[in-house]
Chains A and B, each alone.
Chain A
């Protein structure tokens, strides 16, 4: 009851709710995205309070950082297509059509019902009941790592994690197909100071990303957080035009996309046999296998996230010109 952090919790919770409302109600889309980024960072802070540092890292790096970059890139693209870079064009992307009042009321009623059901389920659920923690603690010696979340992600529930990497792969394939032949918005002019910033932070980001990966076996961190941090390297390189994707790089990019998924699946199948099932790593090699999978998956995640940010598949110039002529 007398937790000195209670006031902090209440303040943080109300700030999170207020930011969620503001994200959807503010008129300027740019402001809406910025508010969303702040919302994501404060949610990550709340999850640190709930002793979930891994989830907080993932939310801050992927859910907020990469998603924020994707949103801003989309907004930039749409302003470029409309031909207006000023703030006047910022208020909406889609021409607004009035929604009939009965539809709004029906929507509101449905939302209310769903929320009511969710709230009843949440408050009726047994508080702090026994979960999987005892099972996980018992199985930890066999996992090869000492951090429970990494053990769950890369060993006990690795089938889930493999599918997650496959979803990421599917996303990049879909984005390349959707964006085929789409004209590209010019990179924003960022100026000298920004280039200096990029030069100073690039090596640091590489170090931090690798450290997160390495540390993941015993402390919060791991492939997904590390991949997102390393994807920031790609974002910086793309934004500063130090790296311009060329059609010749497509083959390499494709290999990088499937590297993680391929090795993950191959190892899962190879360990099977001799009384073991698929994904059942032999305990004495588990650490090296997990580190190998994590390392390669990290490379795939970083390259895939950077490719998702870049969006369009790098195509040969000739094809592009032909499309402009027609």
Chain B
């Protein structure tokens, strides 16, 4: 399985590069990893991908590649910290920013292109830890004798757009690093199968979470969750977070996908959004996917999930068929108006998936890549 996974990750990055037309994204990511670990030759800034709850788990703390820090699409995304937001997982909307003085003396300051950006020295906005800006320039950054200082960036205004933070020497105003933050418009929701719990490092047999981790590293805001947090009516912590994002963070595009019971929960979330969520600010479900979707009325539901998710603009579907003696009789099935057309793909009709069972169908590189490539092409970051 790990062979499939490695192949998948490599293919996915190639796919991203192709779709974005930038070329060499894998090389950039690799270079970023190295640069984040090695001493910088000159002072600079390193921004990170979003937090979740009290830290980064179930994702790894991931630096945005240096070469992408000014990219309005692939650079650091940031959640609008909207008024009224109820932060279901705690205050986790600030983005970590490491300032490295790289042995250069003198004082450093930050400048910003918009007052929408606030900067704190604490991740949870402790009282008295916000950096004051005067004319959009801070006072000297306090390094406390260290080479690096960790700051936390907040998007305080209305959702939408981007803004830049720049590091410069206070006296000479010599510019060093710059980072462009763009406000997230999209949210990805990834739901595993029964008893698949998101973990770090990602389990190579959890194909859904492999896709989710890949998307996180590529700059999307990803909510990766156990499907138990979605009840059969769609209610629960995942739905609450989606509502919070739409209502208070300016998110207007969603992607939801899941494997097995996670497929059933994908349907349940879309159904709830189409009913209870009808009064929410404008939003669209740009992408959904089932991999061997099983209805999720309960933990013992073994029915096929073959209903198309309500309101989905694009639905991918992969499934296999078996018997109790192969895989406890757990199957997905064809879903009307799904991709590949017309009803999705029975992977057992392909050479690579001919021996599929329910318990491996989510791990095939071809399935993982299909989700990655088609989601990337449709969902705004």
Report whether chain A binds chain B.
Answer: no
